[in-house]
Structure 1
Amino acid sequence: MEKFFQLRERGTTVKTEVVAGITTFLTMVYIIIVNPAILSSAGVPFEQVFMATIISAVIGSLYMGLFAKYPIAIAPGMGMNAYFASVVATQGVSYQVVFGTVFLAGVIFIILTFTKLRETLIGAIPPSLKYGITSGIGLFIAFIGLKMAGIVVPSPNTMVTFGDLHQPVTLLSLFGLFLTLILIARKINSALFIGMLVTAIIGIFAGLLKFNGVASVPPVPVFLDMDIAGVFSNGLYTVVFAFLLVTIFDTTGTMIGVADQAGLTKDGKFPRAKSALMADALATTVGSTFGTSPSSAYIESSSGVAAGGRTGLTSVVVAILFILSIFFSPAISAISSLPAITAPVLIIVGCFMMEGLSRINWKTFDEAFPAFAIILTMPLTSSIATGIAIGIITYPLMKVVSGKWKDVHPILYVFGIIFLIQMIFFPAH
Structure 2
Amino acid sequence: MFKLQENGTTAKREIVAGITTFFTMVYIVVVNPMILQSAGVPFDQVFTATIIATIAGTLWMGLLANYPIAIAPGMGLNVYFTVSVVGAHENISYMTAFSAVFVAGLLFIILSLTPFREKLIEAIPNNLKQGITAGIGLFIAFIGLRMTGLIADHPDNLVQLGDLHSPQALLALLGLAVTIVLMVLKVNGALFIGMVVTGAVAYFTGHLSFDNGLLSFPSLPEGLTVSNPITAFSDVLEHGLYAVVFSFLLVTIFDTTGTMIAVAQQAGLMKGEKMPRARQALLADSVATSVGSVFGTSPTSAYIESSTGVAAGGRTGLTAVVIAVLFALAAFFGPVVSAVSGLSAITAPALIIVGCLMMESVAKIDWKNLDEAFPAFLIILSMPLTSSISTGIALGFISYPLLKMVQGKFRQVHPLVYLFAVLFFYQLMFLPH
Distance 1:374 1:220 in 2: 40
Post-superposition Cα deviations, 1:245-304, rounded to whole Å, max 9, x if no partner, equal 101100100000000000000112111000000000000001000000000000000000
Name the CA distance, whole Å, in 1 between partners of 2:221 and 2:107. 25
Say if 2:322 is the partner of 1:317: yes
Q: SS state of the match for residue 297, structure 2?
A: coil
Partner of 1:216: 216
Give 1:16-95 correspondences, 5 Å limit. 16-86=13-83, 87-92=85-90, 93-95=92-94
SS in 2 for 1:71: coil
Distance in 2 separating the partners of 1:39 and 1:49 = 7
| Aligned partners of 1:57 and 1:75 also within 8 Å | yes
2:358 to 350, 353, 356: 353
Distance 1:109 1:187 in 2: 40
How far apart, in 2, do the equivalents of 1:223 and 1:6 lie? 39
What is the deviation of 1:223?
4.0
The alpha-carbon deviation at position 222 of structure 1 amounts to 4.5
- Partners of 1:50 and 1:156 in 2: CA distance: 35
Question: Distance between the aligned counterparts of 2:27 and 2:336, measured in 1?
Answer: 12
Aligned residues: 425
Counterpart Cα distance in 2 of 1:200 and 1:334: 10
Q: 8 Å contact 1:176–1:195 — kept in the other structure? A: yes
Q: 1:243 aligns with which of 225, 230, 248?
A: 248
Q: Which amino acid aligns with 2:399?
A: T
Distance in 2 between the 1:153 and 1:209 partners?
A: 22
Distance (Å, rounded) in 2 between the aligned partners of 1:322 and 1:210: 21
Q: Which residue of 2 aligns with 1:110?
A: 109
User: Could you tell me how far apart the structure 2 residues matched to 1:302 and 1:167 are?
Assistant: 28
Taking the aligned partners of 2:44 and 2:220, their CA distance within structure 1 comes to 8
SS at match of 1:142: helix
Q: Structure 2: which amino acid aligns with 1:215?
A: L
Mean Cα deviation higher: 395-404 or 70-79: 395-404
Return 5+ residue gaps in structure 2 as ranges. none
Alignment of 1:268-347 (within 5 A): 268-347=273-352
Corresponding residue SS for 2:269: coil
Secondary structure, aligned partner of 2:322: helix
Deviations along 1:347-366, one digit per CA (max 9) or x if unpaired, are 00001111111111100110
Q: Among the aligned pairs, what percent are the same residue?
A: 62
Partner Cα separation in structure 2 for residue 231 and residue 353 of structure 1: 40
Compute the displacement of 1:236 (Å): 1.1
Shift of 1:427: 2.7
State whether residues 77 and 293 of structure 1, in contact with CA within 8 Å, keep that contact through their aligned partners in structure 2. yes
Contact 2:42–2:221 (8 Å) recurs in 1: no
Change (3 A) 1:315 1:222: farther
Q: Distance in 2 between matches of 1:21 and 1:160?
A: 33
Instruction: Write the mapping of 1:410-425 to structure 2, written as runs, cut at 5 A.
Output: 410-425=415-430
* Partner in structure 2 of residue 136 of structure 1: 135
Q: Given residue 348 of structure 2, which amino acid in structure 1 is its aligned partner? A: A
3-state DSSP of counterpart to 1:90: coil
8 Å CA contact 1:221–1:290 kept in 2: the answer is: no
Matched-pair contact (CA < 8 Å) for 1:57–1:76: yes
Alpha carbons 1:52, 1:221 under 8 Å: kept: no
Which amino acid letter does the alignment assign opposite residue 30 of structure 1? Answer: Y
Kept in 2: contact 1:61–1:74 (CA 8 A): yes
- What RMSD, in angstroms, separates the aligned Cα atoms of the two structures? 0.9
Name 2:187's counterpart in structure 1. Answer: 188
Provide, for residues 209-237 of structure 1, a one-character-per-residue CA deviation record: whole Å limited to 9, x for no partner. 01021112222474432462332211111
Matched AA of 2:109: I
1:101 is the counterpart of 2:116: no
Q: Using structure 2 for the length normalisation, give the TM-score.
A: 0.97
Question: Per the alignment, in what secondary structure is the counterpart of residue 268 of structure 1?
Answer: coil
Measured in 2, the distance between the counterparts of 1:15 and 1:323 equals 20
Tell me the distance in 1 between the aligned counterparts of 2:412 and 2:12: 45
**Distance across 2 between alignment mates of 1:64 and 1:425:** 34
User: What are the Cα deviations for residues 18-72 of structure 1, in whole angstroms up to 9, with x where unaligned?
Assistant: 0000000000000000000000110001101001000000000000000100000
* One-letter code aligned to 2:89: Q
Regions of 4+ moved over 6 Å: none
Q: Per-residue deviation at 1:143? A: 0.3
Tell me how far apart the structure 2 counterparts of residues 206 and 154 of structure 1 sit (CA, whole Å).
Answer: 27
TM-score when normalising by structure 1? 0.98
1:313-337 Cα offsets, whole Å, 9 max, x none, are 0000000000000110000000001
Structure 1: any 5+ residue segments left out of the alignment? none
Separation (CA, whole Å) in 2 of partners of 1:67 and 1:206? 44
Mapped partners of 1:426, 1:157: distance in 2: 28
CA deviation string 1:96-121 (max 9, x = no partner): 01000000000000000111111111
